[in-house]
């Protein structure tokens, strides 16, 4: 995060009213340490109008500090700061950046992203939320000739003219568990070193897909989701993905209970 004036970190300032600095930051030291992937950082990004940004930043801070955004190490939001060196910031569209990693772990980033849009309902004009690595940011994807300016993406409801979220679908059928409260997410701290043996990996809690469900199926199905598909008009999420996630959560809860 570098040197930042402390009054712009973990503050109650409203981004739409701040003109002294380009960003406001939110960082919980415990979460930042737990979910620090080292050098392989990346981020999910959410874009909102300047009329929405204050409320959405409040919601993001609330969820983050309540530990409902597992995997997110820290966050920042674009303010109303104007600079001649940053003409793009004159835009009425502002961004919230959710840092997480390792960027190379597609499965984990997709899990973090799906939980993120469940906790903070999000719509997009084109129907996607994008994940970008810091390496892409530093290198400037488009400037280097790369057509794709992101690593991963997840489908979200398309943004209507009014920008409402009424059609945002539930991602996980937790009502089937007979409770209105959402079970705790499994630990998704950074994955083990690549030198980890197959035997060690099977017992690892770092990736709860290893022994319970087909992790490749999760990634493959998520990749295949597109608003261009025949059935996507009425359904933003393939129910098979939710089924896989649900199995993983239930199994993780079962194993956790057995250890007590």
| Tens digits of residue pLDDT in 210-242 | 433 445 555 555 555 544 443 433 333 445 555
Query: What is the rounded average pLDDT for all residues in the chain?
Result: 72
pLDDT reading at 143 higher than 90: no
Instruction: Output the pLDDT for position 149.
Output: 73
Q: Which pLDDT score, from 0 to 100, does residue 92 have?
A: 80
pLDDT over threshold 60, residue 102 = yes
Handedness of CA 43, 47, 51, 52 (dihedral sign): negative
Q: Are residues 103 and 37 in the same domain?
A: yes
* Domain shared by 149 and 196, yes or no: no
The domain boundary residue, chosen from 93, 124, 155 = 155
Neighbours of 82 (CB within 10 A): 11
CA distance 198 to 214: 16
Distance CA 244, CA 78 (A): 35
- The predicted-structure confidence for 68-87, as pLDDT tens digits, reads as follows 999 999 999 999 998 776 55
Q: Which of 136-140, 177-181, 209-213 has the lowest mean pLDDT?
A: 177-181
**The pLDDT value given to residue 2:** 64
Q: Using pLDDT thresholds of 50, 70 and 90, give the confidence band for residue 204.
A: very low
Q: Which pLDDT value is given to residue 3? A: 76
Q: Please tell me whether residues 150 and 184 are part of one structural domain.
A: no
Number of domains in the chain: 2
The pTM score is: 0.64
Structural domain range at position 237: 174-259
CA distance 101 to 121: 21
Can you read off the two tokens belonging to residue 33? 């340490």
Contact 213, 250 (CB under 8 A): no
Residue 185 inside a domain? The answer is yes
Q: How far is CA 224 from CA 208, 218, 240, 241, in A?
A: 22, 10, 12, 11
Half-sphere exposure of 25 (CA within 13 A, CB side): 17
Statement to judge: residues 88 and 145 lie in one domain? yes
Between CA 41 and CA 39 the distance in angstroms is 6
Q: Are residues 45 and 78 in the same domain?
A: yes
Q: Please report the DSSP string for the chain in residue order.
A: --S--GGGBS----GGG--S-SEEEEE-HHHHHHT--TT--EEEEEEEETTTHHHHHHHHHHHHHTT-STT--EEEEE-S---TT-GGGGSSEEEEEEEE--TT-HHHHHHHHHHHHHHS---BTTSEEEEEEHHHHHHTTTTTT-S---SEEEE-PBP-SS---TTPPPSS-GGGGT-SSPPPPPP-PPPPPTT--HHHHHT-SS-TTTTTS-HHHHHHHHHH--TTSTTTTT-SS-HHHHHHHHHHHHHHHHHHHHH-
Residue 2: inside a domain, yes or no? no
pLDDT at 9: 97
Range with lowest mean pLDDT among 1-10, 219-228, 241-250: 219-228
pLDDT range class, residue 137, cuts 50, 70, 90: low
Domain presence at residue 53: yes
Whether residues 112 and 187 fall in one domain? no
CB 154 within 8 A of CB 117: yes
């Amino acid at each position: 995060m570098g040197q930042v004036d402390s009054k712009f970190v973990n503050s109650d300032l409203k981004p739409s009213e701040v003109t002294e600095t380009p960003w406001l930051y939110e960082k919980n030291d415990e979460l930042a340490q737990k979910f620090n992937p080292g050098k392989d950082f990346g981020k999910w990004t959410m874009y909102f109008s300047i009329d929405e940004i204050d409320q959405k930043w409040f919601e993001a801070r609330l969820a983050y500090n309540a530990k409902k955004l597992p995997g997110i190490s820290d966050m920042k939001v674009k303010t109303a700061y104007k600079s001649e060196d940053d003409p793009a910031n004159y835009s009425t569209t502002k961004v919230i950046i959710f840092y997480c990693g390792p960027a190379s772990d597609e499965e984990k980033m997709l899990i973090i992203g799906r939980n993120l849009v469940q906790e903070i309902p999000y719509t997009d004009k084109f129907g996607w939320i994008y994940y970008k690595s810091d390496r892409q940011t530093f290198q400037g994807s488009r400037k280097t000739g790369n057509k794709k300016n992101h690593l991963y993406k997840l489908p979200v409801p398309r943004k209507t003219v009014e920008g409402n979220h009424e059609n945002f679908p539930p991602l996980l059928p937790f009502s089937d568990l007979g409770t209105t409260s959402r079970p705790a997410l499994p630990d998704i701290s950074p994955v083990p070193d690549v030198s980890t043996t197959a035997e060690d990996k099977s017992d690892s809690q770092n990736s709860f897909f290893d022994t319970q469900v087909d992790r490749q199926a999760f990634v493959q199905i998520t990749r295949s989701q597109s608003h261009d598909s025949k059935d996507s008009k009425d359904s933003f999420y393939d129910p098979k993905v939710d089924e896989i996630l649900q199995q993983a959560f239930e199994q993780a809860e079962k194993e956790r209970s057995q250890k007590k």
